[in-house]
Amino acid sequence: MTDQIRRVFAAIFLFSLTFALLPSFSKVNGSWPSPVRGKNGMVASQHELASQIGVDILKKGGNAVDAAVAVGLALAVVYPEAGNIGGGGFMLFRDKKGEFHAIDYREMAPGAASRDMFVDAKGDLIEGEGSSTVGYRASGVPGTLAGFELAFKKYGSGKVTWRQLVEPARLLAQNGYVLSNRLAELFVEYKDTLERYPESNRIFLRDGKYFKEGDTLKQPELAVTLGRIARLGASDFYSGQTAKLIAADMKANGGLITEQDLKNYVAKERQPLHGNYRGHEIVSMPPPSSGGMVMFETLNILEGYDMRALGSNSAAKYHLYVEASRRAFADRSEYMADPDFAEVPIAKLIYKNYAKERRSTILANKATPSRDVKFGTVGGREPMETTHYTIADKDGMIVANTYTINDLYGSRVTIKGTGILMNDEMDDLAARPGRPNLFGLVQGERNKVEPKKRPLSSMTPTIVTRKDGSTWFALGARGGPRIISAVMQSIINVIDYDMNILEAISAPRMHHQWLPDSIMWESNGISPDTMAIMRGYGHIFNDNSGNVASATGIMFDEKGVRLGAIDPRSDGKAIGY
Ligand code: GLY
């Protein structure tokens, strides 16, 4: 070899070495893809207009709870598939002193509800009008305004008025907003049921002259309702003109909700549920949501494994995840319900030693069929909808709010003269305890229909702390029982796999809810190789893949910058300032 050739080889070697020693791409602040940054505050919701309204409230001096109320009301206008004043939900937050609070504003069954109201004389489930999913009888008494007013009065900053929080939503309803392609198409997708109800048909389907992308949707009746609520507060909804209109329309159409039911509604403060994963305190929603309990049971089981060593996308990791989740969802079906009506063994279910017992039944490289998992007699179908938003303010207060009207467009009923789209939350109670529902599944006796009962939920607004106890991130999701899977896997992604909040909620996921005994998976994220290995262990995959819920979240970085993230699986925008 000549000197010249030697020099060329040496140059190539040094050149290659330099590149080998450099990281393959820049990870500024460890973040890729990058969340939205805000030094003072952040609002992450599923509609840009709603997020902007939240930021405006923060800039006026409102705190995260004030902003959460304004965002929730705005979503009732610009995100009618799930945003609402005709539904209910859960607000979890940590105040600036570091204390956690949980507000339960879940719907309540009307006073005239009864165990068998959704079955006919032959004991079969009623379909269509009169069922638990569509029409006037499907609705529980809405809780959203009671919850928002409680949050505002007790935990708001005092620097903005109730009227200031309602007014932006009222203006959007009155002046209208431009429909995205997705929102316009979604109305048409649901036309078969929306068109059965004259007010829904007129407002959302323009009596058959369907909306297109770029059209403006105005909701004048809703604007008038919001105007009254701005002036009179939630009392208008529960005992004023709006209450009268709801009760009258219900009566005229065979619905059960009366003026007395509306008067009886109360939002409740609950003790937040505390758990711990690898030294991080995690705080979430207690019953009547199953979200916190299922999540803690699953995470407690997984804590016994070195998940980091398994890698975030391996068959071995997903095998353990599915097995843990299968067991926690089996317990959900048996034990979980409204704690005001049924005994829910919360402490036992989230006890680390109980997880140890459950873990001991998990086999290496072998799926346990759901029929062999104890308490395997009940399950539950829950629909896709719901929406979650997360808000952080300049003082460190952070709010995770999930609320819903259950299915897309709820019961499809818009109450005459109000513009209010009602929920079909009665379907989250067991329409036929112990026997299959319309979807071939069975729900438990604890969650049977009873007057004033709150239906079991999967909503999982959650806050995670750093090991020093400071707030690290908060998140939640939409997507029925898949909400729990999205939240748990995002948490594992941050804690075990060092992902930032956007990476964590964007990463592929699986979902197993015990029954049916099959895995829901994401075709663009789970490789056929991984699935082949898991099939070899005995796992069954759904024929149709789909999204496993969609999440939004906010993380505080080490310098306190708020990092906002919207799941690429859904619409929305995180806006910081
Ligand atoms: N309706 C969905 C849930 O509450 O989980």
Q: CA-to-CA distance for 489 and 321, rounded, in angstroms?
A: 9
What confidence score (pLDDT) does residue 24 get? 45
Q: What residues line ligand 1, using a CB cutoff of 6 Å?
A: 382, 386, 404, 406, 428, 457-459, 480
Which atom of ligand 1 is the closest one to the Cα of 427?
Answer: 1
Reference 277, options 495, 474, 14; nearest CA is: 495
For 107, 189, 209, 222, 501, the CA distances from 184, given in Å and listed in that order, are: 28, 9, 12, 19, 30
- Using the mean position of ligand 1's atoms as its centre, give its distance from the Cα of residue 92 in Å: 16
Residue among 144, 458, 482, 513 to mutate when testing ligand 1 (max atoms within 8 A of CB): 458
- Region at 13 (left for phi over 0; alpha for psi -120 to 50; beta for the rest): alpha
Q: Can you tell me whether residue 188 is helix, strand or coil?
A: helix
Reference 127, options 455, 434, 382, 432; nearest CA is: 432
Distance of CA 88 to the CA centre of its chain: 12
Which atom of ligand 1 is the closest one to the Cα of 404?
Answer: 1
Farthest CA pair distance, the chain: 99
Whole-angstrom distance between the N-terminal and C-terminal Cα of the chain? 63
Q: CA-to-CA distance for 85 and 81, rounded, in angstroms?
A: 12
Q: CA-to-CA distance for 225 and 441, rounded, in angstroms?
A: 39
pTM for the full predicted model: 0.93
Q: CA-to-CA distance for 434 and 115, rounded, in angstroms?
A: 12
What is the number of helices (H) and of strands (E) in the chain? 20, 20
Which atom of ligand 1 is the closest one to the Cα of 407?
Answer: 1
Q: Any idea which residue has 């505080």 for tokens?
A: 556
The protein residue whose alpha carbon is closest to atom 1 in ligand 1 is 406
Q: CA-to-CA distance for 447 and 267, rounded, in angstroms?
A: 19
Q: CA-to-CA distance for 140 and 423, rounded, in angstroms?
A: 7
Distance of CA 376 to the CA centre of its chain: 25
What confidence score (pLDDT) does residue 524 get? 84
Q: CA-to-CA distance for 512 and 326, rounded, in angstroms?
A: 6
What confidence score (pLDDT) does residue 445 get? 85
* H or E element in which residue 98 lies: none
The residues carrying an active-site annotation are 386
DSSP assignment of 197-223 equals SHHHHHHHHGGGS---TTPEE--HHHH
Question: pLDDT averaged over consecutive 10-residue blocks of the chain (577 residues)?
Answer: 53 45 46 87 98 98 98 98 97 98 98 95 90 96 98 98 98 98 96 98 98 98 98 98 98 98 98 97 97 97 98 97 96 91 92 94 95 55 72 98 95 98 94 59 79 96 98 96 96 97 96 91 92 98 86 96 96 96
Rg (CA), the chain: 24
Q: CA-to-CA distance for 54 and 63, rounded, in angstroms?
A: 10
- Using the mean position of ligand 1's atoms as its centre, give its distance from the Cα of residue 265 in Å: 19
- Region at 510 (left for phi over 0; alpha for psi -120 to 50; beta for the rest): beta
Q: CA-to-CA distance for 58 and 144, rounded, in angstroms?
A: 21
- Return the beta strands (E) in 378-434 as ranges: 387-392, 398-404, 414-415, 420-421
The protein residue whose alpha carbon is closest to atom 3 in ligand 1 is 457
Do 409 and 68 touch, CB atoms closer than 8 A? no
* Token duo for residue 192: 């078969």
DSSP assignment of 272-324 equals PEEEEETTEEEEE--TTBSHHHHHHHHHHHHTTS-HHHH-TT-HHHHHHHHHH
Cα angle value 337/343/344 (rounded, 5°): 55
Q: CA-to-CA distance for 200 and 419, rounded, in angstroms?
A: 8
Neighbouring CB atoms inside 10 A of 347's CB total 8
Q: CA-to-CA distance for 555 and 35, rounded, in angstroms?
A: 9
Which atom of ligand 1 is the closest one to the Cα of 483?
Answer: 5
Q: CA-to-CA distance for 79 and 567, rounded, in angstroms?
A: 16
Q: Any idea which residue has 């619905």 for tokens?
A: 255
Distance of CA 242 to the CA centre of its chain: 27
- Using the mean position of ligand 1's atoms as its centre, give its distance from the Cα of residue 546 in Å: 18
Eight-class DSSP state of 165: H
- Region at 514 (left for phi over 0; alpha for psi -120 to 50; beta for the rest): left
270 HSE (CA, 13 A, CB side): 26
Residues in contact with 171: Cβ distance below 8 Å, sequence separation at least 6, in sequence order: 223
* Token duo for residue 295: 């999540």
Do 353 and 339 touch, CB atoms closer than 8 A? no
Q: Can you tell me whether residue 397 is helix, strand or coil?
A: coil
Cis geometry, peptide bond prior to residue 436 (ω within 30 degrees of 0): no
Lay out the sheet containing 42-45: strands in order across: 268-270, 100-105, 88-94, 398-404, 387-392, 42-45, 573-576
Do 91 and 461 touch, CB atoms closer than 8 A? yes
- Using the mean position of ligand 1's atoms as its centre, give its distance from the Cα of residue 384 in Å: 8
- Using the mean position of ligand 1's atoms as its centre, give its distance from the Cα of residue 386 in Å: 7
Reference 202, options 226, 186, 215, 218; nearest CA is: 218
Residues in contact with 510: Cβ distance below 8 Å, sequence separation at least 6, in sequence order: 318, 321, 322, 485, 489, 519, 520, 521, 522, 526, 548
